[in-house]
Amino acid sequence: MAEYKTIKGFKTQSLASDPSPGIEGQLWYNTASNVLKYTIQATAWAAAGALNTARAYTAGCGTTTAALAAGGNTPGNVRSDTAETYDGTSWTAVTSLGSARYAPGVVGSTTAAIIFGGRLAPPGGSTGQTETYNGSAWTEVADLNLARMSPGPIGQVNTAALAVSGGYGDPPQGQTETWNGTSWAAGNSLNTPRTLARAAAGTTTAGIAVSGDTNPPATGRTSKVTEEYNGTTWSNVNDCLNIRYEAACTGAVQTAALLFGGATPGGVVPQTEVYDGTSWANTSSSLATARRAVGNNSGAASTAALCIGGNPGYLANVEEYSLAPASKTVTVS
């Protein structure tokens, strides 16, 4: 019979405390608790570099080591034109947006992004303004056909994106528009019109929209409806587990998405759920700071996400969701 050392390359040690950090596959006997334990890779939220400009309702895209956050609301309910990029450690201010706005949608990367919709500073209302970013400057391009705030942004590149539904303060429209790199074209609407904010992910031919605000400001407006998009039409699938609005969803593919934060009529929530293409499941790790109206990196995997700023309190703190070593106890049944 093969020994554990031969298979994994480690001796089974006796230790008074769990190793930190552990190594995946490591096995040891904890002499303090008198149990056999091992290390796995698990997902968890941890503090990341803070924004330079505290805000809520910002839009974000990219990855956990190359992210962009743009626009938002700053203290005093002031619209922001600030854009910042993240290198995995710290945020750096870059060229400002052409139009200050909050609750826009954005997709792409730190060198090729597109931002659309949102709400302008008073007396301006919801906008369809669209700008592209090339890593150094923002350029205004063709507007959305339907001006709106809080659209669900779907896509991985700035030449192929979806703006899904939206509203808030106005009746949600449900309408989907497709960006082809030059102009927006109207497509089929969601089955349940709602303000998605950041709760949309995937690609233009395999997208997902989840939760949202169905009829502001009515009581009971929050939703846990989940819909999938095949490039033409939306179909209802299994609901997420927790009713919420102004949550964030990230995932580069439709079958692996992460949903976090948001609010219910009772207040903000920290819960995190993961989607496997069939159903949602609660994770064991929640945000350290419960919040809504956050930004996120829409291009990341379901095991690598950023929760950027948010409310209440116009937050600057950022949390990162990633794989990390975790200790488990060996059980025999």
Q: What is the pLDDT of residue 168?
A: 63
Inform me whether the pLDDT recorded for 4 exceeds 70: no
Q: What is the pLDDT of residue 27?
A: 73
The CA-based diameter of the chain, rounded to the nearest angstrom, is 77
CA distance 154 to 299: 9
50-316: what fold? Neuraminidase (2.120.10)
> Per mean pLDDT, which of 38-47, 212-221, 222-231 is the most reliable?
222-231
Question: Region 228-255: what's the mean pLDDT?
Answer: 94
Inform me whether the pLDDT recorded for 190 exceeds 90: yes
Task: Write down the pTM of the prediction.
Answer: 0.85
Q: What is the pLDDT of residue 33?
A: 72
Order the strands of the 66-70 sheet from edge to edge. Answer: 59-63, 66-70, 83-86, 91-94
Angle at 154 between CA 97 and CA 71, to 5 degrees: 20
Q: What is the pLDDT of residue 23?
A: 59
In this prediction, residue 89 has a pLDDT band, given cuts at 50, 70 and 90, of very high
21 Cβ contact list (under 8 Å, min separation 6): 324, 325
Q: What is the DSSP-derived secondary structure letter of residue 24?
A: T
Domain boundaries, the chain: 4-42+325-329, 50-316
Cβ contact 68:61 at 8 Å: yes
Question: Region 22-38: what's the mean pLDDT?
Answer: 68
Comparing 32-36, 155-159, 232-236, which segment has the lowest mean pLDDT? Answer: 32-36
102 Cβ contact list (under 8 Å, min separation 6): 56, 57, 58, 71, 72, 73, 79, 80, 118, 119, 149
Q: What is the pLDDT of residue 185?
A: 97
Percentage of the chain modeled with pLDDT above 90: 69
Q: What is the pLDDT of residue 266?
A: 85
SS3 253: strand
SS3 5: helix
Question: Region 285-303: what's the mean pLDDT?
Answer: 87
215 Cβ contact list (under 8 Å, min separation 6): 171, 172, 221
Q: What is the pLDDT of residue 299?
A: 64
Which residue type is seen at 219?
Answer: T
Q: What is the DSSP-derived secondary structure letter of residue 8?
A: H
Which residue type is seen at 35?
Answer: V
In this prediction, residue 219 has a pLDDT band, given cuts at 50, 70 and 90, of low
